[in-house]
Amino acid sequence: MKLVFASNNKNKIKEIKSLLPDTIQILSLEDIGCTEEIEETENTITGNAKLKADYITKKYGYDCFADDTGLEVEALGGAPGVYSARYAGENVTYEENAQKMLKEMKDKVNRKAQFKTVIVLNLMGKQYLFDGICEGEITNNKHGNGGFGYDPIFKPKGFEHTFAEMSLKEKGRISHRGLAVKKLVNFLKDKV
């Protein structure tokens, strides 16, 4: 089975590919000739994932899936949430977002946070949703060199290491994206 993953984020593509069985081949937006940036204009994680999946299905005619992820920090009232990728502003680096988060959390006692991923799948004219949540906390400092985004400052509940200190395989077993992808894969097993 071939599915378009509506993303040009090389880190996400690598992570998703590592989680899928060999029977499912992933095509990136680049692979299908989609060079435009799909603007995330919705105010929910589900809304943005749906927007991206629908854009590819309508414009290119492919069965596809898209995801959106947000980091929700309890002490910040659930922020940055849907704005996680642009928390420190437009066109910022992962490092700038992580540094802003560390600064915002500097004096906070409550460091509880969770990552939430929603995957929207458009398949044979129908739409399906899968989600994954990973609870944890924001660390006081950065730890590790792996992963991307907030991985160096997010320690999942029940673990001593941040996502950035874990292997891709280890992270994939417990992460928000990994959990959502498992639901997607289990659903697709019947379709392959």
Cβ contact 27:5 at 8 Å: yes
Instruction: Please indicate whether residue 68 is annotated as part of the active site.
Output: yes
Query: 5 has which bridge partners?
Result: 65
Residues 6+ apart with CB under 8 A from 57: 63, 64, 122
Between CA 117 and CA 130 the distance in angstroms is 8
- The residue to which tokens 């290491």 are assigned: 161
Which residue spans within the chain are E strands per DSSP?
2-5, 25-27, 64-73, 80-81, 112-123, 126-138, 154-156
Q: How far is CA 15 from CA 11, 35, 146, 175, 179, in A?
A: 6, 21, 12, 11, 12
Catalytic residue selected from 68, 107, 131, 190: 68
172 backbone dihedrals φ, ψ, rounded to 5°: -60, -30
* Residues annotated as catalytic (active site), given as ranges: 68
